[in-house]
Chain A
Amino acid sequence: MALIKFTSKGIYCAQGDFYIDPWKPVNYAVTTHGHSDHVKWGNKAYLCHDLTKSILNHRLGPDLNIQTLPYHKQITINGVKLSLFPAGHVIGSAQVRLEYKGEVCVISGDYKVEYDGISIPFEPVKCHTFVSESTFGLPIYKWQPQHQIFDQIKNWVSGNKDKNKTSVLMAYSLGKAQRLIKGLDGYADIYVHSSIANLNEGFVHAGVNLPETIRITPETKKEELQKGIVIVPPALSDGKWIKTLTNPATAVCSGWMQVRAGRRWQSADAGFALSDHADWPGLLSAIKATEAEKVFITHGFTATFSKYLNEIGIESEEVKTQYENEEEEEEKS
C-alpha cells in the first residue's frame, strides 16, 4: 500500500493518519513551510520546523496546537517514521520524509537548490517516492547565480540614486524579503514594510541572524527612504502608498521576471529574476538525486514537466493540488 494518497483535503498518509500541507481543516497537519497556500487555518494540530512556528503564530493566531521539530530528528507517528530535511525555499522550509516498513516517501513542498545565504540549503534525500513542485518546470527557466542578480540590483539602485529616485523592491514578505535584506546588507539602509518587519522580529526572536533593517512608519521621512532601499510586499504595488514616495522606481523580484512578457506585465520599472523555487536544471538535479522510482508532480507546469520526466525514464505522474504560486499572488495581509 502506498504511503501517501492525494485526497480532496490534501496529501494524506493513511498509515500515520496525518496530512501534509492540507488545504482543508484536518486533525493533524504536517507543514512544510509558512506560505499561505501550504498552511491553512483550522487544523486541530500542526507539526512544523522550529523556525516555522513563529510564522504560523503570526499568520494564523497565537492559540494553535503546534509541535516543532529540528531538521534530521526522527519521530514516529502511528508507526510511521517522520523527519524533516532542509528544502532551501525559505527560512524554516522543510521536506517531509516518511518511512514505513522500509518504504520511503519524501514530500518536498517548495524548494530550491541554490543556497540563498539565509535558509539552510536544500538537502537531497534518497527515497522511493518523491513529490516535487514544478513552478518553473520549463527549460526557459535557468537562474543566473544570485551574486550576479544582486550586482544588477545594486546597479539599478545606484542608477536610481543618480536620478534622485527612491528604489522600491517588491518582494514576498516571507522568504524573498529576508533574502534581499541579506544580499543587500551594507549597501544601503534598508527600510521594510511592517508586514516584513513583523516576520523579521519573529525570526530574530527565534535566533535567526538577520541584518538590521528599519521599519517604515508614518513618521519615516521620504528623504531617508530616497537614500536607502525600500522593500515592500507585492500587495502594495497597486496601492497609493508608493506614489507618495519621492520619484519612486519600482522593481519586482520574482522568477517570472525571467521572461520579458512577465516583466512588462507587472507595471514596474524593472524586474529581477530572483526566485525561491528551483529552476529547470535545479528541479532535474534534485529529482535525480533522490533516485526515486516514482515522482509526483504538483503545482506548476505539471503536465509538461511530468511528460518530460517520463520521456527521460523517470516514472512520473501529475497531481492536482491547490497549491498556488506565491510569486504570482501575494496574500493581502
Chain B
Amino acid sequence: MKRFAELIQQLETSNKTNDKIAALVDYFNEADDLDKPYVIAMFTGKRPKRPVSTALIKLWAIELSEIPEWLFTESYHNVGDLSETISLILPPPVQVSDRKLHEWIKDLALLNGQEDSHKKTIIVNAWNSLETRERFIFNKLISGNFRIGVSNKMLVNALAKQSGTESSKIMHSIMGKWEAAGITYNDLIAGVHVNTDNSWPYPFCLAYALEAEPSGLGEPSEWQAEWKWDGIRGQIIKRNGELFIWSRGEELVTDQFPELHFLASELPDGTVLDGEILSIKDGKVQAFSILQQRLNRKTINKAQLNDAPIGFYTYDLLEYNGRDLREEPLANRRKLLEQTISQLADQGIVALSPVVTFSNWAELAELREGSRAINSEGIMLKKLDSLYHSGRKRGDWWKWKINPYTVDTVMIYAQKGSGRRANFYTDYTFAVRDGNQLITVAKAYSGLTDAEIKEVDRFVKKNAVEKFGPVRTVKPELVFEIAFEGIAESKRHRAGLALRFPRIARWRKDKKADEINTLDDLRQLLQSIL
C-alpha cells in the first residue's frame, strides 16, 4: 500500500508525461507482483462492486471525527473530493498496518453482503491503521473511482517499456476481459487471455483538430472527406456468433442499443466495424440532445425507443473474415466496408457514413458550411493511404470542425473549483438579459488562463455576498463570451433552452454588462435550427 501511495503522489506532483511514465515503470519494477494486476485494473476503470455506500462512509467519518455534518460538508466543498476529505478529517491513526494493496482490495470485496455494523468495524479499523496518504487510497478503493490523470495510453506505454512488449499488444490485452484476482502480471502482459475472448476491441484511431486551413494538407485527391458526426464513437464486433458494441470510453454498451442487435445474425463472423452511434429518425441524423435520452440507461421503454431511435453510421472496417485490416490503407478498407454493408438486408439503421466528394479545398470549405443543417459538426479528413493507428497520430486523420456559436453573457454566480482548483473560484454561472432580469443559460469552468482565474477569483472574493456553502452570488459585472456547439429546448432550465458544450471563449473586458445578449437572441437561434 505504501509503495502505491508513493506512486500516486509521484503521478500527482508531476505534470510531465515522461516523469509519469518513469514513475509507472519504477512502480511496476518494484511493486508486489500480486498488486500489479489490481493497479492496472484500477487505472483502466475496471471497477469492483462497491461494497459500502457513500452515505455510510460519510456518516462514519463524521462520527469518528466528532464534527457537525455541516462542517464536514464545508470541508468537502473546499477539498472537492470525498475520499480526500475523509482522509484529512479523521483523527490520526492509532496503529500501523503493512497490509498490501491487493489484500485491502480483497478485504473490501468480502464486505459485500455483510451487515452494516460489520462493514463499519472493518472500515473504521482500516482508517485507524493508515496514515493520511494511504487512507486516501483506501477510500478510493472503496469508491472504485480512481482518476488520477493516467490515460490508458500512458499506462500502456509504461507497461510496454517495463516489459519490453509491443504497446498495441498490451492495449489489446488490458482492454480485454480479465479479472485482477484471476491473472498474474506476466500473463496479463503476455495477453494469454485475449485470444479466447471474442469481445476484444481494437484501440480507436483518433484524429487531431485541424487548426489551420486544409490547403496545407496537399492534394485533395489524396484525401477522403466525411461528415463529422456528433454521437458516440462505437466499435461493433461480431465474432463466433456473438455481437459486442464498445464505446470510445472502452465500455461495453451492447445492451443499451437493441436496434443494432440484428447485426448478430447479419454480419459475418470476424467482422469489426468502426463508426458513430447516433439517433437516426426517418433517415435523418438527430441532434445529440436526442441521442442523450438513450445513454447510460439500465432499461429502455417504448417511448424512448420511439422518440430516439438508434442507428449506426460506419466509416471503417478493422477486421474482415477474422483478419486484422489495420495495416491496410484506408482506400482498401473502405472498399471492403462498402462490400460488407451492401450485404445487409436493411441499410436504414446501419449505413455507410457517406464520403463527401470534392475537387478542391474551397469547395470542401463551402460544403462544410452546411454541416449544421444535417446535425454534423464539420468535416473529417482522412488520408486515403493511412493505416488505422492506435490512438492519435499527427498527420493522417484530421477533424475540421465548424466554428462554434457564441453568446455574450454576464457572470452571476461563482463556485470554488474541485480537484486541482479547490482554493479558487473557478466554476461560473452565466446569464443573458431577459427584460429587466438576468437569466441563467450556462455553467462553465474551462477556457481561462491561470492568471485570469486568479483575477476573477479576486473579483469574486471582493464582490461576493458572503454565505455558507460553495456558491457565491456576485455583482453582474464581468462579461464573458461563451462558445457552444448546439442549442436545444429544455424544460429543466428556466431559460427554456440549454446550450451544448458551453465554455468560455474569452473574457470580454471591453464590454459592459448592459451590452450582453438577450434571451430572445438565443430563442431566435433555436428557432432557426429546428
* CB of A7 closer than 8 Å to a CB of B: no
Closest A residue by C-beta to B85: A140
Question: Complex: how many Å from CA A311 to CA B71?
Answer: 11
* CB of A61 closer than 8 Å to a CB of B: no
Question: Complex: how many Å from CA A263 to CA B422?
Answer: 10
Q: Is the CB of B423 within 8 A of A262?
A: yes
Q: Is the CB of B88 within 8 A of A142?
A: yes
> Of B8-16, B380-388, B493-501, B521-529, which binds chain A?
B8-16
Q: Is the CB of B420 within 8 A of A261?
A: yes
Task: Point out residues on A near B: beta carbons under 8 Å.
Answer: 138-142, 256, 258-265, 267-271, 301, 303-304, 307-308, 311, 328
Q: Is the CB of A304 within 8 A of B422?
A: no
Contacts of A142 in B (CB 8 A): 88, 92
Closest B residue by C-beta to A251: B13
Q: Is the CB of B71 within 8 A of A139?
A: yes
Q: Is the CB of A258 within 8 A of B88?
A: yes
Contacts of A307 in B (CB 8 A): 70, 468
Question: Complex: how many Å from CA A218 to CA B68?
Answer: 55
Q: Is the CB of B74 within 8 A of A263?
A: no
Contacts of B468 in A (CB 8 A): 303-304, 307
Question: Complex: how many Å from CA A269 to CA B22?
Answer: 14
Contacts of A270 in B (CB 8 A): 13
CB 8 Å contact bits of B418-429 with A (1 = contact, 0 = none): 111111100000
Closest B residue by C-beta to A264: B420
Q: Is the CB of B79 within 8 A of A259?
A: yes
* CB of B65 closer than 8 Å to a CB of A: yes
Contacts of B420 in A (CB 8 A): 260-261, 264-265
Q: Is the CB of A262 within 8 A of B422?
A: yes
- Most central of A139, A269, A301, A303 by chain B CB within 10 Å: A139
Q: Is the CB of A260 within 8 A of B423?
A: no
- Chain B nearest Cβ from A264, distance in angstroms: 4
Task: Point out residues on B near A: beta carbons under 8 Å.
Answer: 12-15, 65, 67-68, 70-72, 74-75, 78-81, 84-85, 88-89, 92, 136, 417-424, 466-468
Question: Complex: how many Å from CA A311 to CA B12?
Answer: 37
Closest B residue by C-beta to A159: B10
- Chain A nearest Cβ from B58, distance in angstroms: 14
Task: Knowing A262-B422, A265-B423, A304-B468, say if A139 contacts B84 (CB, 8 Å).
Answer: no
* 11 interchain pairs, CB-CB under 8 A: A138-B74, A139-B71, A260-B420, A261-B417, A261-B418, A261-B420, A262-B423, A264-B419, A265-B424, A304-B468, A308-B71
Q: Is the CB of B79 within 8 A of A271?
A: no
Contacts of B78 in A (CB 8 A): 138, 140, 259, 301
Q: Is the CB of A139 within 8 A of B89?
A: yes
Q: Is the CB of B423 within 8 A of A138?
A: no
Contacts of A140 in B (CB 8 A): 75, 78-79, 85, 88-89
Task: Knowing A259-B88, A260-B12, A261-B79, say if A139 contacts B67 (CB, 8 Å).
Answer: yes
